[in-house]
Amino acid sequence: MQNDSAYKNQVIAWLEAHIKCELPGQQTIQESVMKPQLDRSKIDPRIQMSPQMKQMETEEFQIEFHCFVSRLAIVCNWHQHTDTCWKHLKSGEPWDDTHCCMQMNGETRVITKIDPETCSVLL
């Protein structure tokens, strides 16, 4: 991908078409998002039954499913450090975002790019 920009653009287009880094319906991601507090007056979407297509019209199902997935993502799609995050640390290395083995530091970006040092795809 480093030597063929057309191929790189095809791979990035495919990844962006299949992997979403924003909530359903959002066009762009927000630069800084804090984990929202769980609204105790509503049913937790993790224990709520998902909408069932056979019980509603297609358009109603699409709207309900979209809302359900959005609620799930808002509640569940957050990384919280646990002991597992640092299980491979050497003695003396700090327990911080930089050293988390999940490599999830909360950073977001507007466009997908390739890290020139690691050749990682950064969605």
Distance (Å, whole) CA 108 – CA 33? 9
Q: What is the pTM of this model?
A: 0.58
Tokens of 15: 């990844």
- 15 pLDDT band, cuts 50/70/90, is very high
Q: Is the pLDDT of residue 7 over 60?
A: yes
- The residue-averaged pLDDT of 95-123 equals 82
